[in-house]
Structure 1
Amino acid sequence: MLSSPPATSSSPVQPSHTVTSDPRHVTMETYWTEVQSIEEEKEGEEEEDEEDERKSMDEVELEEAWLTEAGLFSLVMGSAEDTDPLPAGALLSTLTRQQVATVKRRLDNYNETLRKRNRQPIRDVRDVFAQVRHWDVPWVCVSVGYFAPVSPSQGLTCVDDLSSCDLIQLSFISHIELSTFLLALGIQTKRTRPPRRRTRDGGVFGIPLDSLLENDRKKFPGAKVPVVFQKLLTVLEQTGLQTEGILRVPGSAARLKHLRRELDRCGWGLDWSTVRPVEAAGLLKLFIRELPIPLLTHTHLSTYRCVLGISAVVHQVQALQLLSLLLPEAHRDVLGALLVFLRKVVSHQDQNRMSLWNVSMVMAPNLFAWRQRGNKRSVAKQREEMEEAVGGAHLIRLMIIHQDLLWTVPNFLLSQVRQMNQASNQKQSGLSRTRRLPKSNETETKKLCEGVIRVHAPLHTKVSMAIQLDDQMKARDVTARFESENR
């Protein structure tokens, strides 16, 4: 469950009352109105085939999942390292001392659990790290000192700047660093099995983001978010930013059901001129709620909730940054587009009466799944609901404020990705040296010494040439050599 942010207090009250747990004394009516609207939309619909109570993973499943997400699946599955796309040794060699301690703890726990179940453990943790030289970086620089407000002019690297291969490696390092970071702050994370939900074959709502994008890219190559989702944002930006209560005021439940059916039938080809701003806002929230894999993912949703146990806001933002880097690409792009839109809504609060806290309160039950707990609620349940409301809104508020930082790759993580690339390349080079080169290639390789490069120019008569470099040589000198050969 979500808990309220640090340094706040809440008392059990009815949903219609005003809460003073936040210093700004904001009303909770916005949150409960949104919850009621969600419940009204579900009335009369068939229930999803979903487990009401999610079971926690056992120790073996938990550690296997963690090691796999850390890119160390070869240690669990026993696959040959030479056949792995990214050998575990290359990853382990880049880890800091604190990250190594985290991996060791996970491996030890995994092996110990297997022993208790009379199963064969994987390699001893000492064997895994025996030949690995890890990257030694002071802890203060690694986990609690890399966040600081910076300007774009300082040469920051955004996640979109990285290649697909680098993104995979970044996710491995970020996963290990997040666990190390939370452990250093005394935060214990929990993980549950994802609920089983009925899948749909077509339409717009209830379809995985990857499936929607695959279909949209047939007509719109390069689309980064589903076309329908982008169209809803466009309609709201054009007609809804000045609408009072946009996002907060619910549209007609019957009208939303009709528009949902139409969107499932014709997709982005809907006659959007007939859609009012409050209806577009309702469809936007409905789209987010009905994703079979939540926008923040089943894998990391519980970790988002654990972030609220961190006392310092600056460390909460650091954890949110690492979590954002771990999101799948489609989820990261949709979340980014949503946060940009929410910031625009807040920027027009003089016209639409939607403050940052109001926007956060409205979106909380949509991004963090709301579950009805019955009409009769104990004082403890009421307090729990209050904490869930305030806690979810607090996280969304931080993400809106610091959204530019969420997609920025910390320099030390970027350095580790480079180290991983170097270690992987060295391994590949070592493997290639074991294979004998053709005789002609061996002779040519010997001719290329230090300061000599090979230039390829396929449009010239001489398509390839070895060039000896010196301090005075310029690019035009190289092209002159090729033009001379042409003559």
Structure 2
Amino acid sequence: MVKMVTKLVHYLHLSRRCGQYSMNQIHPKNSMGNPHYERSFSQDSLDEFSMDDYWSEVEHIQKTQENAQEEQEEVSIKVPDEGEVEAEWLKDAGLSGLVSGDTQDSITLLSTLTRTQAEAVQRRVETFTMTMRKKNKQPIPDVRDIFSQQVSRTSEASAVTADESESDNTTEKQEDQLISLETKDECTQQTADINLEISYSEQAANMKVKLSNLKLNREDDASLPNYRLPKDKTGTTKAGDLAPQDMKKVRSLALIEMTALYDTLGIDFKHHKAIKVKIKETGLFGVPLSLLLEQDHKKVPGTKVPLIMQKLISHIEEEGLNTEGILRIPGLAPRIKSLCEELEARFYEGTLHWENVRQHDAASILKLFIRELPHPLVTLEYLDAFLAVQNLSSRKLQLQALNLLVLLLPDQNRDTLKALLEFLQRLIDNRESNKMTLNNVSVVMAPNLFMVKGYCSKSSAKTQFAMATGTSNIMRYLIKYQDLLWTVPKFIMNQVRQQNIESHKKLSKEKAMKKLLKKMSYDKDKHDRNHTERNLTDSVTLQGAIRVQAPSLSKVSMAIQLTEELKAGDILARFQQCLVKNRITESSSKDEVCLYEIGGNIGERCLDDDTYMKDLYQLNPKAEWVIKPRCQ
């Protein structure tokens, strides 16, 4: 793809210099004013004439790569056979037991799946089974019976509380209402809601016919709708709010849901694996993100975003947010090369004179850092899935797919992408002075994020233009709707809670058996009885209340009476007042601490301030409530 785009860009710029180039010459239009081929939604969403910056950026990237003396090899892509693809998918989905025959652990996950999710898993298992039989390998267990056993359990698994059960009884009515709302929202282009309670693939299955006939108009930045996140009384969960063990479950469920969504929409969903190649293991540019962060941890323990990227962003923000054409106008190539060499040698020493680094140069180096990562920020595994978003038939489907793909990213990639997108939004907020709108920023950044070296394609010029507009549109959505895209949907959170409930039941049975076999001593039994009695006493004393502790901040614990309107933010405020009253000054400020929900049917979850505590207590009555610094 890169080589072909190079030739195309060269032709476009030659034509432009001669005053001969126009998009109409590349794409002649019919009498109705539309291109002679059918346009996708993502193509219609961008003005053709706004794409000049995209091709200029591509040309600049090509010149940079031609002039650079790169030691690392290009990323090579391995296309595994079908059996390997399905086996890898089942492993990533947390269902490798369906391949090995040890299905005990997989049953818990399967019992929480929706109809469309279960169908997606069954398709992969059956494909894997047939492939293995063709290869004359040892037969694997037939798991179809497992899926049939889960049918009666699936509806029960989605009901974590009585409220969830009532919601299940009205799901069909909600979905009917959702269909009409979807169509209306796509047409009005003003404000719309994203339903996070019903599986995206289930929504798509119910709206498939409706959306196939939906006509979407061209739009500029101002006409993009503002999507509202529904107010969930049990709190909104963001990627990063959960403990690693729960986030692992979220990724598995997001992969299954992503596959089910693409299956429902008739889109092939496969991911590639990069062949191991010789890459740089030290330095700043061209170093894998994981190794770069290992280096950074030696300098600043716990850092989640590469230090060089943080420094470049902060330097640009010091003076560059108001600089006209920032990101669009490149720095001089020789100066950029010299600065990169200087950074490689002196960055960790802290001896570089940043006051001499111009803003346009810093912006060019930031883009260079992003595209020189040996594995793309959106990962090679899911690059195809990101690119396929441009082919979805509605904006809401595109956002749902991007939401799942963001949740699929490794922590380091997601944290780095988040820092980049937040910076780009701050830059756009200053568009009056820097002349960089959402569209301008998107077309400039798209090739830096999605044009991957070694990811070649022999596509036609028409396809390359569709790729340009499609990836630019994806970039727009990543920037504008980043708050939505980092949210863990409620239906996935419900499935995580249900998995934890099932796991705890299994663990309790195992513990009971061990306890019986070990024939615990009388003293131990007495201790357990006393402990149980204390717990019962506490539960009576604190009936209708919770006890909040902050062991890492102070010895103070509080009994909080639950009311309908009590929120997590209110508890944090009371805690701060209590610290002040007791003259405890060593604690962190409110902005640096968070109220956590720990245990019960969740591992650990950081609560947003608008969480209604009584509703959450009813959802997870066995949880403990702890205030602690968010970084812990």
The counterpart of 1:271, out of the listed 353, 360, 380, is 353
Residue 159 of structure 2 is aligned to residue 135 of structure 1: no
CA shift for structure 1 position 95:
1.1
In the other structure, the counterpart of 2:436 is 354
In the other structure, the counterpart of 1:98 is 116
In the other structure, the counterpart of 1:6 is none
The counterpart of 1:72, out of the listed 78, 95, 103, is 95
The counterpart of 1:178, out of the listed 258, 275, 279, is 258
Residue 368 of structure 2 is aligned to residue 344 of structure 1: no
CA shift for structure 1 position 152:
7.3
CA shift for structure 1 position 341:
0.8
For residues 372 and 443 of structure 1, do their structure 2 counterparts lie closer, same or farther at Cα, with a shift above 3 Å needed? Answer: closer
The farther-off stretch of 159-168 and 194-203 is 194-203
Q: RMSD in angstroms over aligned alpha carbons?
A: 3.1
Contact 1:453 1:469 in 2 (8 A): no
Residue 268 of structure 2 is aligned to residue 188 of structure 1: yes
User: What TM-score does the superposition give when structure 1 sets the normalisation length?
Assistant: 0.83
Mapped to 1, the partners of 2:269 and 2:539 lie a distance apart of 58
Instruction: In structure 2, give the amino acid aligned to 1:14.
Output: L
Structure 2 unaligned segments of length 5 or more: list them: 3-10, 25-42, 159-170, 176-197, 205-225, 548-554, 556-632
Mapped to 2, the partners of 1:426 and 1:444 lie a distance apart of 23
Contact 2:75 2:454 in 1 (8 A): no
- 1:191 is paired with a residue whose SS is coil
Contact 1:208 1:292 in 2 (8 A): yes
1:356-409 Cα offsets, whole Å, 9 max, x none, are 1111111111101256999xx99x732222111111101000111100011111
For residues 33 and 431 of structure 1, do their structure 2 counterparts lie closer, same or farther at Cα, with a shift above 3 Å needed? Answer: same
CA shift for structure 1 position 128:
3.5
For residues 116 and 264 of structure 1, do their structure 2 counterparts lie closer, same or farther at Cα, with a shift above 3 Å needed? Answer: same
1:3-62 Cα offsets, whole Å, 9 max, x none, are xxxxxxxxxx9364454854544332201111111111122424742367x453210111
Residue 496 of structure 2 is aligned to residue 417 of structure 1: yes
Contact 2:72 2:279 in 1 (8 A): no
Structure 1 unaligned segments of length 5 or more: list them: 3-12, 82-86, 456-465, 480-487
The counterpart of 1:14, out of the listed 5, 12, 15, is 12
In the other structure, the counterpart of 1:124 is 142
1:51-74 Cα offsets, whole Å, 9 max, x none, are 67x453210111011101101122
For residues 196 and 372 of structure 1, do their structure 2 counterparts lie closer, same or farther at Cα, with a shift above 3 Å needed? Answer: closer
Instruction: In structure 2, give the amino acid aligned to 1:64.
Output: A
In the other structure, the counterpart of 2:540 is 469
Mapped to 1, the partners of 2:115 and 2:48 lie a distance apart of 44
For residues 383 and 249 of structure 1, do their structure 2 counterparts lie closer, same or farther at Cα, with a shift above 3 Å needed? Answer: same
Contact 1:202 1:264 in 2 (8 A): no
Residue 525 of structure 2 is aligned to residue 442 of structure 1: yes
* Correspondence 1:192-211 to 2 at 5 A: 192-211=272-291
In the other structure, the counterpart of 1:158 is 238
Mapped to 2, the partners of 1:247 and 1:438 lie a distance apart of 69
Residue 470 of structure 2 is aligned to residue 384 of structure 1: no
In the other structure, the counterpart of 2:618 is none
- 1:119 is paired with a residue whose SS is coil
The farther-off stretch of 235-244 and 127-136 is 127-136
For residues 351 and 19 of structure 1, do their structure 2 counterparts lie closer, same or farther at Cα, with a shift above 3 Å needed? Answer: farther
* Correspondence 1:15-30 to 2 at 5 A: 16=16, 17-19=21-23, 22=44, 24-30=47-53
Instruction: In structure 1, give the amino acid aligned to 2:310.
Output: Q
CA shift for structure 1 position 198:
2.4
Mapped to 2, the partners of 1:344 and 1:31 lie a distance apart of 21
Normalized per residue, the structure richer in strand is: 2
CA shift for structure 1 position 106:
0.6
Mapped to 2, the partners of 1:448 and 1:337 lie a distance apart of 47
The farther-off stretch of 152-161 and 334-343 is 152-161
For residues 471 and 210 of structure 1, do their structure 2 counterparts lie closer, same or farther at Cα, with a shift above 3 Å needed? Answer: closer
User: What TM-score does the superposition give when structure 2 sets the normalisation length?
Assistant: 0.65
The farther-off stretch of 400-409 and 193-202 is 193-202
The farther-off stretch of 391-400 and 268-277 is 268-277
Residue 489 of structure 2 is aligned to residue 432 of structure 1: no
Contact 1:74 1:88 in 2 (8 A): yes
CA shift for structure 1 position 126:
2.1
- 1:113 is paired with a residue whose SS is helix
Mapped to 1, the partners of 2:369 and 2:498 lie a distance apart of 40
Mapped to 1, the partners of 2:154 and 2:112 lie a distance apart of 5
The farther-off stretch of 393-402 and 113-122 is 113-122
The farther-off stretch of 256-265 and 317-326 is 256-265
Contact 1:19 1:27 in 2 (8 A): no
Instruction: In structure 2, give the amino acid aligned to 1:249.
Output: I
The counterpart of 2:403, out of the listed 303, 316, 321, is 321
Mapped to 1, the partners of 2:425 and 2:329 lie a distance apart of 18
Mapped to 2, the partners of 1:472 and 1:399 lie a distance apart of 45
* Correspondence 1:138-149 to 2 at 5 A: 140=175, 141-143=198-200, 145=203, 149=228
Mapped to 2, the partners of 1:257 and 1:98 lie a distance apart of 51
In the other structure, the counterpart of 1:169 is 249
Contact 2:74 2:453 in 1 (8 A): no
Mapped to 2, the partners of 1:228 and 1:288 lie a distance apart of 11
For residues 471 and 305 of structure 1, do their structure 2 counterparts lie closer, same or farther at Cα, with a shift above 3 Å needed? Answer: closer
Residue 83 of structure 2 is aligned to residue 60 of structure 1: yes
For residues 115 and 472 of structure 1, do their structure 2 counterparts lie closer, same or farther at Cα, with a shift above 3 Å needed? Answer: closer
CA shift for structure 1 position 467:
5.4
Mapped to 1, the partners of 2:543 and 2:147 lie a distance apart of 48
Identity %: 39
Contact 2:112 2:498 in 1 (8 A): yes
The counterpart of 2:487, out of the listed 404, 408, 424, is 408
1:418-472 Cα offsets, whole Å, 9 max, x none, are 01111111111111111135123334445666xx4449xxxxxxxxxx7572577
Mapped to 2, the partners of 1:130 and 1:473 lie a distance apart of 42
The farther-off stretch of 252-261 and 129-138 is 129-138
Instruction: In structure 2, give the amino acid aligned to 1:30.
Output: D
For residues 186 and 200 of structure 1, do their structure 2 counterparts lie closer, same or farther at Cα, with a shift above 3 Å needed? Answer: same
CA shift for structure 1 position 249:
0.7
Mapped to 2, the partners of 1:161 and 1:51 lie a distance apart of 33
In the other structure, the counterpart of 2:600 is none
- 2:460 is paired with a residue whose SS is helix
Mapped to 1, the partners of 2:525 and 2:418 lie a distance apart of 51
Higher RCO (CA 8 Å, separation ≥ 6 residues): 1
CA shift for structure 1 position 201:
2.2
In the other structure, the counterpart of 2:292 is 212
Mapped to 2, the partners of 1:175 and 1:453 lie a distance apart of 44
Contact 1:18 1:27 in 2 (8 A): no
Mapped to 1, the partners of 2:527 and 2:141 lie a distance apart of 44
Contact 1:50 1:195 in 2 (8 A): no
The farther-off stretch of 423-432 and 72-81 is 72-81
